[in-house]
Chain A
């Protein structure tokens, strides 16, 4: 092989390897769901009200894991549902959360998380009815929780009736569901607060806490508090 041919072959091989590495880095290591920003234009630390709307579904829109349970977040500008669990809110603001519960029930492993904590008034509303505790062992009536440990926030998510035909296409726009509403205050300084579901709803994984329970975009994510 001539010298120019060797050089060209070497360059092509090098570029192929470099392209492969770049593809892996971009598509796997740096891949992350998008972050939905709430409260744009709101001045932090003024106690302003910011509305956040989410839903939890029995399935999702990702072809690789279509049967994983998942949260969705509604973009406040477009009102389109985003398959992500990352969102940002202003510091020192009142967050009015609305979460539509389309998924069915799985009991809590630890009933201590059946209680509502960290919300304003220590209360959440199930279809408008104030609730402080949802007993997931007396009946199969809790699907997930929305919990931010850093704020000691915990709200169990009520579920539709056991006999209901659950929504089969995500993001759900119709079908039986419960509407959970609650409010909490964000801290006055910026920071990242992870949130999670405490119901072991990752069926098929060890202790129900693998798969969607440990993957951004499904049952856990970050709340970015910006100031």
Chain B
């Protein structure tokens, strides 16, 4: 190993190369190139797309995080590569390296840069979550929504999770319930998300909407689709054997197409709609008064219309 800097200086030897500057010179163009590629080439294709303002906002968030992360990854790779090439062990060089006594400039730079990044991310994340224009980043707002969209009365769609399928109820069209999810474009939509059994999560991926479906709770989420097309709906909460298969596709269509579909479906499903309970924001699936008599007579369940005896120890 070469002599320490102090010893080298004392011996009058020339100073070694400025490794920091070398690394910086290698890293800077790589970081800029990576960021430009992410921003220009990858950015428009990042998930979840731009079908809604919420989705576009999430796409923007991912883009910002990608642009911030790429230089860090590039620095780690450059530093590791430089170390392997320049600071590798050489034949006959078995001495320890010079002791490190600290470097005020490096320390100050490190603290400043990391503090700026962390504070920026905190401010950016808070702004993105709180900015009303993005409706809480597409998440469910609970039963009392803090933010509601402008532009008239939103279309109400109830999302009902049950093992293992989502069904959708349209209270403004006679309360019909269907396994198809259809939305009109450029129309604010209010999803009223609930469950009939365990916890599910309604995740309309391309809409940028993710809202937990809890039994006995109405979890409200809003969206306004800006483009027509298909989107996928998945359950995002482990809910049993077929959780992974709890998938379906929704569709955003023109207002005219939607109205025609809703009118047709309302008529088509009228016989089954008549059998459904009156529309409500939540349902209690453990108590079904209509079946009280039959259940009590059958003796297969508890009285008073409960599915199971109220004292059943494994019932929630």
| Chain A contacts to B: CB under 8 angstroms | 104-107, 109-112, 114-115, 132-133, 135-140, 149-150, 152, 162, 194, 196, 198, 200, 203-209, 213-215, 220
Contacts and interface: CB of A to CB of B under 8 A. Distances in A.
B53 interface: no
Contacts of B177: 110, 112
24 contacts: A106-B300, A106-B307, A107-B291, A107-B295, A110-B167, A110-B196, A111-B277, A112-B167, A115-B271, A133-B272, A137-B288, A138-B275, A138-B290, A139-B294, A140-B295, A150-B245, A162-B297, A194-B242, A198-B162, A206-B314, A206-B316, A207-B198, A209-B197, A209-B240
B179 interface: yes
A201 to B, nearest CB: 10
Contact of A140 (B165, B277, B294, B312): B294
What size tier do the contact residues of chain B reach? 35 or more
Given A206-B315, A214-B240, A220-B242, A112 B198 contact: no
A140 B297 contact: yes
A105 B298 contact: yes
Contacts of A220: 241-242
A111 B314 contact: no
B304 interface: no
Given A104-B300, A115-B272, A162-B298, A110 B162 contact: yes
Given A149-B164, A203-B308, A140 B198 contact: no
Contacts of B245: 149-150, 194
A106 to B, nearest CB: 7
A114 B272 contact: yes
Given A204-B312, A204-B314, A196 B271 contact: no
Given A206-B314, A206-B316, A213-B241, 8 more contacts: A107-B295, A137-B291, A138-B290, A149-B164, A203-B300, A203-B308, A204-B312, A204-B314
Interface in B276-308: 276-277, 285, 288, 290-291, 294-295, 297-298, 300-301, 307-308
B197 A205 contact: no
Contacts of B178: 112
B160 interface: yes
Contacts of A213: 163, 241
A52 to B, nearest CB: 21
A140 B291 contact: yes
A136 B272 CA distance: 12
A113 to B, nearest CB: 9
Question: Would you call the interface of chain A mostly helix, strand, loop, or mixed?
Answer: loop
Contacts of B277: 111
B275 A133 contact: yes
B315 A140 contact: no
Interface in B63-86: none
B225 to A, nearest CB: 23
A219 to B, nearest CB: 10
Interface string B189-200: 000000011100
B108 to A, nearest CB: 57
A200 to B, nearest CB: 7
Nearest to B180: A152
Contacts of A139: 294
Contacts of B163: 207, 209, 213
A140 B298 contact: yes
B21 to A, nearest CB: 57
A181 to B, nearest CB: 21
A147 to B, nearest CB: 8
Nearest to A163: B297
B275 A137 contact: yes
Contacts of B314: 204-206
- Identify the 10 closest CB pairs spanning chains A and B, nearest first: A140-B294, A214-B241, A207-B197, A137-B290, A115-B272, A111-B275, A112-B177, A107-B291, A109-B285, A209-B163
Contacts of A105: 294, 298, 300
Contacts of A205: 314
B275 A196 contact: no
Contacts of B272: 111-112, 114-115, 133
A206 B290 CA distance: 22
B276 A111 contact: yes
Contacts of B290: 137-138
B287 to A, nearest CB: 11
B297 A196 contact: no
A94 B197 CA distance: 34
A2 B26 CA distance: 64
A133 B164 CA distance: 21
